[in-house]
Structure 1
Amino acid sequence: MALLRNIVLLWTIVTTTFFWTTTMRLVLKPEISQWRIFGVGGQGTDGHFWLPPLVALIALAAFYLEGRGRLRRLFHGWLVAWHLALTALCLYGALQVGGEISFGTWGVTLSFWWLALPFAVFLGLALWLVVHETRYSHQVPLFNWQQVNPKPLMLAVALLPVALVLFRLGQGFDGWVKLAVATTIVQWVLLVEGVARPASPR
């Protein structure tokens, strides 16, 4: 059960990272903050610029709920809705003629067909996790609301000026900017780890 949970959470971290890195580009280097998911997107503070920060905030709140072991139905609802939405978007993109997704920072373009299968598999794993916790009354450790992991949170905050300097040094999507984006990816992992389950329940 622990292995299933770790796999699902790891994939969920990967799929939410995009919204954090986009948010940090928007804040720290808005001139290159351009993104689009089908008909929804933004550039700098134009368009739907508020969407990535909102999604990242909701995702972090969901990880916080998961870490506390409380309000499991709310977390389960978000988890299934998140992976269902991503899988549906991938299938929709795959069915479009020439449907591709591009990651401008890294210069990578993929067909949605390459993403549809793994997203569908992880949707199934997320559903399996929810069924195990609900139908089989799996005991989830409970933690107080104020219990967090301070060291990862402090490291995430410490990376903010590092990312800022790297973004300022870079132009377009050069090596400095790629390094800055990599820094914000690490920052997101640290934030999630900061609100994850502490070492022992109280």
Structure 2
Amino acid sequence: MVSLLGIQDTPDLITDLFMKGIAIPIGWRRCLAAGLKTAMEQPIASSSMPSSSIEANGQSPESQERLAIFEHKANTTRVCILNPECTEVEIEHQLPLRGYTNIFPFQNKLVFIGDWLSEKEPGSRRVDLMDLSTGQVSPLPDMMNAICSPVGVGTENEIFVFGTEILSDSPERFSNEVYEVASGKWSLLPPMIEERSRCAVVNIPDSGIL
């Protein structure tokens, strides 16, 4: 069974599978059920991530995945990490609202990409990491290009980001970047075969980034 780890816009994915008549794995349904009541009240984004206590509990990474739910209220974002059974909230933090932000797991942390957009600054280079145990948010180096509507995914030692680069003297064009932990720097990726103004990205183990 394919893990939900790293998949963005999970509720939309499940809806698409349902509309196409594709069977939804039981494991996915169990983890998503915890977020349905909240989703009926207001939009949320969800993602699953591995626990930092896998070795301590002597359990496999698959059994220790966590479902993270992000709920926007007033000027804050409520971050909730559920327990492995998806029956109750295990960790909860409140963060300032940052406008359009893409959130995904990386090395037992959460990555936040994006910020408030304006006419003067239609894109953002901002990237932050959140420590789930403390709720502390620390910055990563800014991306090379300001990107609008970014999407990202993490591997073991890299962060991949894709989005529309906004340039004042030229039309919109797609921008791809990768952050390498070893160098602590961002670098540009080769252009894609076909440019897209909107996309989704997922890490497929032993295969690559889709």
Q: TM-score range by the shorter chain?
A: under 0.3
Which structure has more strand as a fraction of its residues? 2
- TM-score of the superposition, structure 1-length normalised? 0.26
| RCO higher in structure (CA 8 A, sep ≥6) | 1
- TM-score of the superposition, structure 2-length normalised? 0.25
